[in-house]
Amino acid sequence: MADKQVELKTNELLLKLTSIPGPSGYEDGVLSEIEQIMEPYIDECFRTPMGSLVCVKKGSGPKVGFFAHADQIAFVVTKIYEDGFLRFSGVGGWDPKTIISQKVWVHTKKGKLRGVIGFMPPHLQTTEESKKVPDYDRIFVDVMMNQNWKDISIGDLVTLDVEGFEKNGTIFAPALDNRASCVAIIKAAELLSKIKTDAQVYYIFSTQEEIGGPGAKSGAYISEIEYGVVIDVTHGDEDVPGYPKIKMGEGPAVAIGPVTNKKFVEHINTVAGKYNIKTQIEPIAGRSGTDTDEVQLTRIGVKTALVSIPLKYMHNPYEKVFVKDVEDTAKLLAFCAAHLPEVGIEEPSRDSALAKISGNKSRGEKIEK
């Protein structure tokens, strides 16, 4: 670990990381920034073949991984017209009607170019057309203001040009899904640098979650962790029929369901109570739609929990989080790791399970002979 540590301001981190483009599969810019920020709090770091950044705080105790995906939803150029207009499609889960008239950047091999997302004006739409919800076949990117727009190629990435801002402890910015969780992990690492713990902690900033999550799985595999906490965002202040409302400003939501380990979740809730950290309960009936689904299945299995930061306007040009929720999430993670030897899970450990598998294999070989 580097000796020089500067206290990190959560709001500044959120605005910095959300200002760096990092679409799925192209996260290197934001991961390089995170690696530099994490340097004072870790013993080593490396990249996986899938591009995920793994930072390690060494210890002699249990191994735990904190996961946050660093990628964001974006667009890709699919067709170029001779008059300076582009067709494009979403990388990840966009709703096209939320992006009309937004400024964008088109990322070419020679640099980025300005564009504006256009749509047919109401005066020219037929009655039938005016009733349709806009889709990618009816919107386009106007790039003709650039003299060098012909530098654009099919397959170039497109990101929204949206600048984040803070007001009274609230952050509005693009890509808070999931840079807010990246910041929570960074702040947790800062706290853990001041707390005594025997746990070996892996801070894993993963790639490509928005298109299926292979980055987290490879990070979990190479780290050989026994415990994993996936940090993502969840819908804040939204009324979802049949489910409790997750409130903004009331702390992170701890998931309960088949993809999480019951004892490990109990440990996290116990830690929250001990340190007066507000949490909420988020019931999940099946798959979570987060990296949790992949991490829990890594190698012979990982005891996994899901902690989510309340966020409003998910997958919109501007998303919204409360700084306090991010900081409370960081505290929860740090104290979870600090008290990890107390978790007391009586289920078979990874080492004992591997020993049994090895023993069964040996007996099988003897029988075959």
Same domain, 138 and 84: yes
Same domain, 211 and 317: yes
Q: What is the pLDDT of residue 368?
A: 40
Q: Is residue 35 in a domain?
A: yes
Same domain, 146 and 181: no
Same domain, 132 and 143: yes
Q: Which is catalytic among the residues 33, 209, 319, 327?
A: 209
Same domain, 315 and 264: yes
Residue 177 is assigned to a ligand binding site: yes
Same domain, 271 and 200: yes
Q: Annotated catalytic, 209?
A: yes
- Could you write out the DSSP letters of every residue in 201-219? EEEEEES-GGGT-HHHHHH
What are the per-10-residue average pLDDT scores of the chain (369 residues)?
70 98 96 97 96 96 96 97 95 91 96 94 75 85 97 97 97 97 98 92 96 88 94 92 89 96 95 97 88 87 95 96 98 95 58 58 42
Q: What is the pLDDT of residue 129?
A: 74
Same domain, 63 and 83: no
| Strand 170-173, strand 319-322: pairing | antiparallel
Residue identified by tokens 């950044």 is: 53
Q: Pick the closest to residue 272 from 319, 211, 224, 335 (CA basis).
A: 335
Q: What is the pLDDT of residue 178?
A: 92
Alpha-carbon gap, residue 49 to 35, rounded angstroms: 16
Q: Is residue 286 in a domain?
A: yes
Q: Is residue 5 in a domain?
A: no
Q: What is the pLDDT of residue 86?
A: 97
Q: Helix or strand or coil: residue 258?
A: coil
Instruction: Tell me, rounded to whole angstroms, the distance of Cα 11 from its chain centroid.
Output: 17
Residue 267 is assigned to a ligand binding site: no
Alpha-carbon gap, residue 255 to 226, rounded angstroms: 19
Q: What is the pLDDT of residue 214?
A: 86
Same domain, 154 and 279: no
Q: Pick the closest to residue 298 from 259, 340, 346 (CA basis).
A: 259
Same domain, 328 and 274: yes
Same domain, 229 and 337: yes
Q: What is the pLDDT of residue 243?
A: 77
Q: Is residue 3 in a domain?
A: no
Q: At what angle do helices 10-18 and 28-38 cross, to 10 degrees?
A: 160
Same domain, 337 and 206: yes
Q: Is residue 165 in a domain?
A: no
Enclosing domain of residue 123: 74-160
Beta bridge partners of 118: 140
Q: Pick the closest to residue 296 from 360, 352, 213, 356 (CA basis).
A: 213
Q: What is the pLDDT of residue 367?
A: 36
Q: What is the pLDDT of residue 229?
A: 97
Task: Spell out the long-range contacts of 271-275 with Cβ–Cβ below 8 A and sequence spacing 24 or more.
Answer: 271/332, 271/335, 271/336, 271/339, 272/332, 274/335, 274/339, 275/331, 275/335
Q: In this predicted model, what pLDDT tens digit does every residue of 3-53 receive, in sequence order?
A: 556 678 999 999 999 999 999 999 999 999 999 999 999 999 999 999 999
Q: What is the pLDDT of residue 364?
A: 42
pTM: 0.90
Give me the CATH number covering residue 155: 2.40.30.40
Q: What is the pLDDT of residue 131?
A: 74
Q: Is residue 227 in a domain?
A: yes
Instruction: Give the chain's domain count.
Output: 2
Q: Is residue 243 in a domain?
A: yes
Residue 339 is assigned to a ligand binding site: no
Q: Is residue 363 in a domain?
A: no
Residue 151 is assigned to a ligand binding site: no
Give me the CATH number covering residue 57: 3.40.630.10
Residue 71 is assigned to a ligand binding site: no
Same domain, 279 and 336: yes
Alpha-carbon gap, residue 90 to 208, rounded angstroms: 14
Read off the DSSP letter of residue 325: H
- Could you write out the DSSP letters of every residue in 135-204? -TTTEEEE-TTSTTGGG--TT-EEEE----EEETTEEEETTHHHHHHHHHHHHHHHHHTTS----EEEEE
